Chains A and B, each alone.
Chain A
Amino acid sequence: MKIQSSLLTEIISSLLILVWTYAAISKLFDFNGFILVLQSSPLLKPFAYVVALTLPLMELIISFLLLVPKYRLKGFASSFYLLLLLTGYIGYMLLFATNLPCNCGGILKKIGWSGHFFFTTILTGLAAAGWLIHKKNKYLIAINPHNGGHSLRQG
């Protein structure tokens, strides 16, 4: 059971690493385009430059946290909160914004804002699941009956 759940967190963290790394690279390599999109957003326009600099940096840091097993719990937590924020932003834009600019890369460009909302909602759920499973595994105590009942702290 422990092996299965750690494999599951491994798969979820790899998926999140893939998403965050791709998102960060596409923003950094099309930095001017990303700033233009942020400037055309009514909600983010005043903070366009700050967001353009900090968001890819945060995405890379989260990728690193997820990559290193020691920091993975923090990686899952940060992923969950950032995805929640992103889902909230997309939801707000869908409900209230008249102009919906998007420089999302790859498949996200084709699925549009509603698809993007659905995608981030699923990722938020995955990050939450990864966070909970990893937390449970980290503090799991295994009893080895063949070793005089000594407990082995996992994590």
Chain B
Amino acid sequence: MKKYTMGIFAVLIAIGLYSFESTNNTPLKAVDSLYWFQVATNQGANTSFLNSQVTFISGPSTIIPPGTNCTGTSKKCVVGFSQSQLVAPGYTTLNDNMGLNPQIPQHVGRERSTL
């Protein structure tokens, strides 16, 4: 049993660390299940977005993905659109593309400080 002591202690530390971390880190969730996009650099102040200004991350999901460099509180960083907004010119619904028309996000999932 003695030879397992350090290993078991390491497992207990890992569980303790995770418990401590998880209480300070609840995942961000949206009310609706949306398609999440990363907003391109310099586009964070926009109200609506074209396909060229965003990059698909994931979805549909209520969990807001982390995005890239999303630290701050003033500019859009990760935005969510409903599937009805993701429509191609031929009226085909898409999952990872904004289509041609500019769209206003249903939800701003994460923000950053810079544009």
Q: Which A8-31 residues have a C-beta within 8 angstroms of B?
A: 10-11, 13-15, 17-19, 21-22, 25-26, 29-30
> Of the candidates A17, A32, A69, A100, which one forms a contact with B3 in the assembled complex, judged by CB atoms under 8 Å apart?
A69
A66 at interface, CB cutoff 8 A:
yes
Decide yes or no whether B97 CB sits under 8 A from chain A: no
**Knowing A10-B6, A66-B7 touch, does A32 contact B63 (C-beta < 8 A)?**
yes
Contact assessment for A29 and B22 in the assembled complex, using a CB-CB cutoff below 8 Å: yes
A84 to chain B, nearest CB (A): 22
A26/B21 in contact, CB under 8 A: yes
Contacts of B8 in A (CB 8 A): 67
Please determine whether A36 and B58 come into contact, CB atoms closer than 8 angstroms: yes
Q: How large is the interface on A (under 10, 10 to 19, 20 to 34, 35 or more residues)?
A: 20 to 34
Contact present for B7 and A99 (CB under 8 Å): no
Answer yes or no: B91 CB below 8 A from chain A CBs. no
How many residues of B are counted as interface, with CB atoms below 8 angstroms from the partner's CB atoms? 28
Query: Does B103 have its Cβ within 8 Å of any Cβ on chain A?
Result: no
Contact A37 B15 (CB under 8 A): no
Q: Is there contact, CB below 8 Å, between A102 and B66?
A: yes
Given contacts A22-B17, A40-B58, contact A67 B11 (CB under 8 A): yes
Which residue of chain A has its CB nearest to the CB of B56? Answer: A40
Please measure, in the bound complex, the distance between the C-alpha atom of A69 and the C-alpha atom of B3, giving whole angstroms.
Answer: 8
Using CB atoms and an 8 Å cutoff, list the residues of chain A in contact with chain B.
10-11, 13-15, 17-19, 21-22, 25-26, 29-30, 32-33, 36-37, 39-40, 63, 66-69, 98-103, 105-106
